Structure 1
Amino acid sequence: MREVNAGFSPCGMGGLGKTTLAKKIYSQSQVVGHFKHLVWAYVSQNCQKRKVWEDILSDLNILSEADKKMKVEKLAEKISSFLEENKCLVILDDIWNTGDWDSLKPAFSARETRSKILVTSRNKEIISHADRKSFLYELQYLNYEQSWELFQKIAFPPTNSPGLPLAIIILGGILATKYPSLTEWLKVSVNVKSYLKSDKGEVLRDVLALSYDDLPPYLRPCFLYLSHFPEDYEIPAGRLIQLWVAEGIVSLKQEEGDAGQIAEDVAEGYLMELAERCMIQVRERDIATLKIRSFQMHDLMRDVCLSKAKQEKFLNIADQSNACLLSTLGSVRRISVHKFFSMQCIRNPRLLSLLLFDGFLPKEECRKLLPLTMQNYFDNHEDEDLNPLLWFVAVLGWSVLATKCRGIWKYMFNNFNFLRVLDYERGGEAGCKLPNDIGKLIHLRFSRLRGLEFFSSKLPSSLGNLSCLQTLDLRIGICSESIHVPNVLCRMRQLRHLYLPEQCSRKTKLKLGTLRNLQTLVNFNTKSCYVEDLINMTNIRELEIRGPFNIEDFNTEDLSKNPPIVRSKYLHSLSIINDEGRIDPRHLAHLLLSCENISKLSLVVEISKLPEYHYLSSNLAYIKLGRCMLEEDPMPTLEKLPYLRMLELHEMAFIGKELFCSAQGFPRLESLSLSHLHNLDEWKVDEGAMPSIQQLEIQKCIQLKKLRDGLRLIATLEELKIESMPKTFKDKVEEGGEDFCKVRHVPSIIFHDCFGSNYD
């Protein structure tokens, strides 16, 4: 393969498609196979050097907790060293000025490296400043014919070409919602014509503004709510929908329109409407349902959103520049904090929502208070006697930090008594414990404390006062192995989404049987919760069991006499994750028999034998098996499922030597992934098996010798990915090898990180 140009850099005004072009390069099979690691980092107008570098390390899978606390210069050294030793492609998207590049440059200072950097920018001077030898690719405006062709693709669904020049896409999205009403089209035409006399930049802004003006009243607050999130932030759809519902943006009148439909369903429809209008850019869809899982906003669309939110007094973004204003302004009742901001500057007693996207304390202050954490000390002085002075410094630092954190918590809990939403995005030190004062927030409907690190293993019993809570996320970090959750959750009868800690203290068993509105339950454990409570949760949609799953008083002689475990006809997703040993196959079979409508099943637990076919829901579209240690071939059971579209057998899911896919098996399967099946040496595929397969991944199945002839007859296969396989296997599959004739019809064949292979 030809070497990717070191300085290929798209540039041009916002909305021309720089990011789209970079993403096409990023996802090309030849590029994926050429580089060992691919990294994407958003820079944007507000360049945060540390965040960009941490994002790069995270994409490279080498970001540690210690990295988050080390000096920023050390991060640059770590990146530079890694890029020198490994062949990587790094895309820096949307650099605004030369100063930002100069601040980021130390991470890319390796002299001899096969890694490449691709930069996108609106300013072509930045490209030449970064690298005089770089190839500048300046995107051009579409001509009339190209613009008309694109417009038709967007305005006349269902043909949709995502990621094309922004103004045309937005305008097409507006008209697509009005098709085939000629009257409505003429109204839009009149509005647009008045803008076309302006320069191109103003036309773009005006068309984006028109997309907001055209929104129906019920969608406007939904769109404005997106202004809470930072630039280039990938917004999880589920979390956003929970926020919309908690704030009452989805009205009960609209919810009551359809028996069986709930607020979350209505909100999901609103999100789909915003996507159809091209006002958001979908990033990920649910595997089983194809519903939106995450999305982003184009930065120009986000500018419109921020402008309208400010104009409507919908939201304030808190930063040091408006600290004085926030101390006196009481009309805006939603505040979002993107960078550290002193909470005491907010003096609005009628505040409704507070979203925090940065650390609880500034990182610089944490580093001063904690010059040497205890964990780092032990890591670096394993075989040495404890230094009393260093121990004292560390303990003193923790003490000062805990006092500061406690003061912030108490200020919030005592001054924002009308708060409905408290969403904490970023983990980090949060003090000794969560203060009892949280019980004063009796109007709270959404509380997300995920990733916060407390020193105490006990949560306050005053949580029971929060009877209005709809979403509670307790997946907090802690020094001890388990967290004591007081037995007060049963009072929260409005709860719709509950995320328990990964390990709850087993001293107290939580009573959850009163939570009849619960839709999401994560980290349910039979050692800290009662199995019989699940039967009362008739609205449950997603259930994740972590740890052992044991049914008390189970009748092993006559299985039919055991009562059902789940009675919710809405349950669509079931996960079981257990590192503590094998699950009783009879208990698993009985649980699966209760889940007759699930479409997603994930089993990361030792089961040794897959339950028989009649225990599995015929609606299953996605199955993931991991660490199951199956001794018998699971394919004869799984291939009978009529709607199964994606199957993943990962990490010793199967420990036998042979898998067999028979003729007419897996009629709807589109994606199959075989990964870390270390004993697999034979995979047989009959003619007529998997007639709909599009993607096939084989990863680290080190005993597998060859591909079978059956693949030759699968005309639908579009992508074959071979990763971390022996070079002998790769040599057989690639062009010229003995197995190439079986896959020569596949448009995209990707080899990645195969042992001993050379991609230069």
Structure 2
Amino acid sequence: MEELGKNMVRHCGGMPLAIVVLGGILATKNSLNEWQLVSKNVKSYLKRGKGQGVEDVLELSYDDLPPYLRSCFLYLSHFPEDCEISAKRLIQLWIAEGIVLSNQNKGNGEEIVEDVAENYLIELAERCMIQVGERDALLKIKTLHVHDLMRDLCLLKAKQENFLCIIDHSSGNQFRKDISSSTIRGVHRVAAHVFPQVQCIKNPHLRSFLFFFEVWMHQTNALTDPRMIKRVNYILEHKENLDLVSCIFILWTKYILWRSWTYMFNNFKFLRVLYFEGRVDDAGIKLPCDIGNLIHLRFLCLKDLSFIMPKLPASLGSLRCLQTLDLRVQRIVYLNGDVGGPIHVPNVIWRMKQLRHLYLPQHCDPKTKLKLCTLRNLLTLVNFNTRNCYVGDLHNMMNLRDLQIFGSFHIEDFEDLGKNPAILGNNNILRSLTLTIESIEIPDPRHLTHLIFGCANIYELRLVLKIGKLPEYHHFSSNIASIYLRICNLVEDPMPTLGRLPNLRILKVREDAFTGKEMACSAQSFVKLDFLSIYRLHNLEEWKVDEGAMPALRHLEIFECKNLKMLPNGLRFITNLRKLEIGWVPKAFKDKLVEGGEDFYKVQHIPSIEFHRCG
């Protein structure tokens, strides 16, 4: 098999990508016969093609995909070149399109569909069809991208199989001529990388429409003067006069946007996916009520769209088939055209009983009060708070995996925390918990302790709030692999508590998470810590690391700790440390660490040391 492999590598013409992809194909083969078949196919593709090596091997890699992976791969053609793709978002799109279905495993019950899709993603990575970007604390794929040559293959196959139509700069005038032709009428998917003439699309059977607004914003800005937009926004809020030409011009552009919305909502009634990516500072006056016509929608993402009127339509309640709903829209409120301010969400989400992923606006107005107790299938809940939602509804979400609380968090119903059940009921599958309260409001520490104690199996914890003191060690899940702390204003050193967590791999202590002057990591603490980031601890002066602490640490970041006198002597005992990054510290601090400096002995074993804006 070794000699056979060498012969196949020779056919790759020394191209690294071709060799890697070929290795991905061979990794799925378990016998000599299968390897021989691959070798035969490689020779066949080279003879059939022009002997270009990498292109032929890439085409073979696609043809070698099992049927259930082909549509998953082709779906990547939606995304623009060099796009960093969120794995979670991609999986949600796959599921909404029906590309990935749950598996029925005898004896093991039904496997959750998101886990099936995650396995597909892993298989594409193992076959080198995608390139992995970030990984989470459990080393699962968090982001991914597609190599340029692999993307060219993806686009070619998508076109050959009539998988989708892409509207981009290359479409040019030809697209304007063909947009209503059979080219677009015969596809079920459209991806717009520039601002499209939506009204020209005559395809009532369209199933998905994906917008990527980085380019669309450039196009709309070319049509309008930003200064004029600010002036018309001022008029709409204050009902004052503006010169007639400016007012008509800006109102006309807003009318075009409104027509685009209403045309989509009235003519593409079979849509299953409506997706927007990228910030759009002026998406029109409001979201039209006609959105309620899209009763087949499985996926709706309105993230970072900004409207003048802050009230979402009650017709959203008609979208009973939704699986993913992202309502993180914003409101244009300031005279300079900035965005912000509260959004009113009607109390209709409880009707969407098939919801699996719900993203609420960060700021809802005081009149918003949402009943969510019917959402028993929910896996993701983002921007939950007790001002606009009922804390008791969390008790019914038995499948919740990711809970992100933003804003107020009070548990009036849990006066006697010792006798009441866990806030999350008997949920034992919650993986990630985020609590963000960026205000002077300080939650009751008993509530925080009770919430964390009820999360028995989480692996990721993010705390962005003033708490003064961490809960005791035994209140934390032993499974926690990642902790992020910011503005916690901890008076006591958190390291003795955090260092006892047996599976902690990532620790980020950011911006006034700790307000004390001394921090210490004792021997035998942080046994699995791989990455440590210390950032903007303004009062920190001394950091001690005992020999035997953090034995697995590979990457250390220290930024803007300007009162820190020196690096701990104990760093020299961490032999696995491979990268040290230091930034925004006095020049004298840096000079001690460079070769010839008095503290160089502490870091001389580290292969990569980077300094950023020191001195």
TM-score of the alignment, normalized to the shorter chain, above 0.5: yes
Residue in structure 1 matched with residue 420 of structure 2 by the alignment: 562
Matched, 1:658 2:518: yes
- Identify the match of residue 126 of structure 2 among 276, 281, 287: 276
Residue in structure 1 matched with residue 191 of structure 2 by the alignment: 336
Q: Deviations over 1:509-546 (max 9, x none)?
A: 10011111111111111111111111111111111111
- Identify the match of residue 253 of structure 2 among 384, 398, 401: 401
Alpha-carbon distance in 2 for matches of 1:270, 1:610: 39
Task: Give the conservation status (yes or no) of the 8 Å contact 1:723–1:754.
Answer: yes
Matched, 1:412 2:264: yes
Residue in structure 2 matched with residue 711 of structure 1 by the alignment: 571
Residue in structure 2 matched with residue 427 of structure 1 by the alignment: 279
1:322 deviates by: 3.3
Matched, 1:235 2:85: yes
Task: Give the conservation status (yes or no) of the 8 Å contact 1:360–1:430.
Answer: no
Alpha-carbon distance in 1 for matches of 2:313, 2:524: 57
What letter corresponds to residue 497 of structure 1 in structure 2? H
What secondary structure sits across from 1:212 in the alignment? helix
Matched, 1:684 2:541: no
- Identify the match of residue 526 of structure 1 among 380, 386, 395: 386
- Identify the match of residue 227 of structure 2 among 348, 372, 379: 372
What secondary structure sits across from 1:582 in the alignment? coil
Alpha-carbon distance in 2 for matches of 1:665, 1:149: 50
1:373 deviates by: 3.9
Task: Give the conservation status (yes or no) of the 8 Å contact 1:372–1:390.
Answer: no
Alpha-carbon distance in 1 for matches of 2:93, 2:279: 19
Residue in structure 1 matched with residue 430 of structure 2 by the alignment: 571
Distance change in 2, residues 1:370/1:669 (3 Å): same
1:149 deviates by: 11
1:199 deviates by: 7.9
What secondary structure sits across from 1:290 in the alignment? coil
Residue in structure 1 matched with residue 161 of structure 2 by the alignment: 312
Residue in structure 1 matched with residue 208 of structure 2 by the alignment: 353
Distance change in 2, residues 1:411/1:518 (3 Å): same
- Identify the match of residue 294 of structure 2 among 425, 437, 441: 441
Alpha-carbon distance in 2 for matches of 1:228, 1:258: 35
1:376 deviates by: 8.1
1:256 deviates by: 8.2
Distance change in 2, residues 1:440/1:197 (3 Å): closer
Distance change in 2, residues 1:681/1:540 (3 Å): same
Alpha-carbon distance in 2 for matches of 1:255, 1:348: 39
Distance change in 2, residues 1:363/1:721 (3 Å): closer
Residue in structure 2 matched with residue 118 of structure 1 by the alignment: none
- Identify the match of residue 606 of structure 2 among 740, 746, 752: 746
**1:252-331 paired onto structure 2 within 5 Å:** 252-253=102-103, 258-259=108-109, 261-286=111-136, 288-318=137-167, 319-320=171-172, 321-329=174-182, 330-331=185-186
What secondary structure sits across from 1:579 in the alignment? coil
Residue in structure 2 matched with residue 545 of structure 1 by the alignment: 405
Alpha-carbon distance in 2 for matches of 1:749, 1:358: 38
> How high is the TM-score relative to the length of structure 2?
0.91
What secondary structure sits across from 1:223 in the alignment? helix
Matched, 1:619 2:445: no
1:594 deviates by: 1.1
**1:192-207 paired onto structure 2 within 5 Å:** 192-197=42-47, 202-207=52-57
Residue in structure 2 matched with residue 212 of structure 1 by the alignment: 62
Task: Give the conservation status (yes or no) of the 8 Å contact 1:511–1:530.
Answer: yes
RCO (CA 8 Å, sep 6+): is it higher in 1 or 2?
1
1:259 deviates by: 2.9
The two structures, once aligned, show a CA RMSD in angstroms of 2.7
Distance change in 2, residues 1:360/1:390 (3 Å): farther
Residue in structure 1 matched with residue 336 of structure 2 by the alignment: none
Task: Give the conservation status (yes or no) of the 8 Å contact 1:195–1:203.
Answer: no
Task: Give the conservation status (yes or no) of the 8 Å contact 2:15–2:54.
Answer: no
- Identify the match of residue 486 of structure 1 among 321, 346, 349: 346
Residue in structure 2 matched with residue 250 of structure 1 by the alignment: 100
Residue in structure 2 matched with residue 699 of structure 1 by the alignment: 559
Alpha-carbon distance in 2 for matches of 1:641, 1:471: 34
1:551 deviates by: 0.6
Residue in structure 2 matched with residue 78 of structure 1 by the alignment: none
Alpha-carbon distance in 1 for matches of 2:518, 2:594: 23
Residue in structure 2 matched with residue 172 of structure 1 by the alignment: 23
> How high is the TM-score relative to the length of structure 1?
0.74
Distance change in 2, residues 1:361/1:651 (3 Å): closer
Moved more, 596-605 or 715-724: 715-724
Distance change in 2, residues 1:394/1:727 (3 Å): farther
1:306 deviates by: 1.5
Gaps of 5+ in 1: 1-143, 155-162, 380-385, 756-760
Task: Give the conservation status (yes or no) of the 8 Å contact 1:421–1:445.
Answer: yes
Alpha-carbon distance in 2 for matches of 1:256, 1:460: 44
1:427 deviates by: 2.5
Task: Give the conservation status (yes or no) of the 8 Å contact 2:406–2:437.
Answer: yes
1:491 deviates by: 0.2
What secondary structure sits across from 2:227 in the alignment? coil
What secondary structure sits across from 2:256 in the alignment? helix
What letter corresponds to residue 21 of structure 2 in structure 1? I
Alpha-carbon distance in 1 for matches of 2:291, 2:533: 46
Alpha-carbon distance in 1 for matches of 2:420, 2:445: 15
- Identify the match of residue 362 of structure 2 among 502, 518, 521: 502
Residue in structure 1 matched with residue 337 of structure 2 by the alignment: none
Distance change in 2, residues 1:579/1:253 (3 Å): closer
Q: Deviations over 1:337-394 (max 9, x none)?
A: 1222201121111111111113796745545444524648999xxxxxx997767666
Alpha-carbon distance in 2 for matches of 1:593, 1:468: 34
What letter corresponds to residue 531 of structure 2 in structure 1? S
Task: Give the conservation status (yes or no) of the 8 Å contact 1:255–1:262.
Answer: no
Moved more, 491-500 or 688-697: 688-697
Alpha-carbon distance in 2 for matches of 1:149, 1:745: 41
Distance change in 2, residues 1:529/1:170 (3 Å): same
Alpha-carbon distance in 2 for matches of 1:360, 1:511: 38
1:559 deviates by: 2.7
Distance change in 2, residues 1:576/1:323 (3 Å): same
Distance change in 2, residues 1:660/1:511 (3 Å): same
Distance change in 2, residues 1:256/1:656 (3 Å): farther
What secondary structure sits across from 1:640 in the alignment? coil
Alpha-carbon distance in 1 for matches of 2:107, 2:120: 15
Distance change in 2, residues 1:325/1:278 (3 Å): same
Aligned length: 592
What letter corresponds to residue 135 of structure 2 in structure 1? R
What letter corresponds to residue 455 of structure 1 in structure 2? I
Residue in structure 2 matched with residue 635 of structure 1 by the alignment: 495
Q: Deviations over 1:421-450 (max 9, x none)?
A: 001123322111111100000000001111
What letter corresponds to residue 272 of structure 1 in structure 2? I
Q: Deviations over 1:473-527 (max 9, x none)?
A: 1111212410000000000001011111110112121001111111111111111
Alpha-carbon distance in 1 for matches of 2:200, 2:84: 28
Alpha-carbon distance in 1 for matches of 2:48, 2:158: 25
Q: Deviations over 1:46-80 (max 9, x none)?
A: xxxxxxxxxxxxxxxxxxxxxxxxxxxxxxxxxxx
What letter corresponds to residue 575 of structure 1 in structure 2? T
Alpha-carbon distance in 1 for matches of 2:104, 2:194: 36
Residue in structure 2 matched with residue 598 of structure 1 by the alignment: 458
Residue in structure 2 matched with residue 45 of structure 1 by the alignment: none
Residue in structure 2 matched with residue 457 of structure 1 by the alignment: 310
Matched, 1:468 2:321: yes
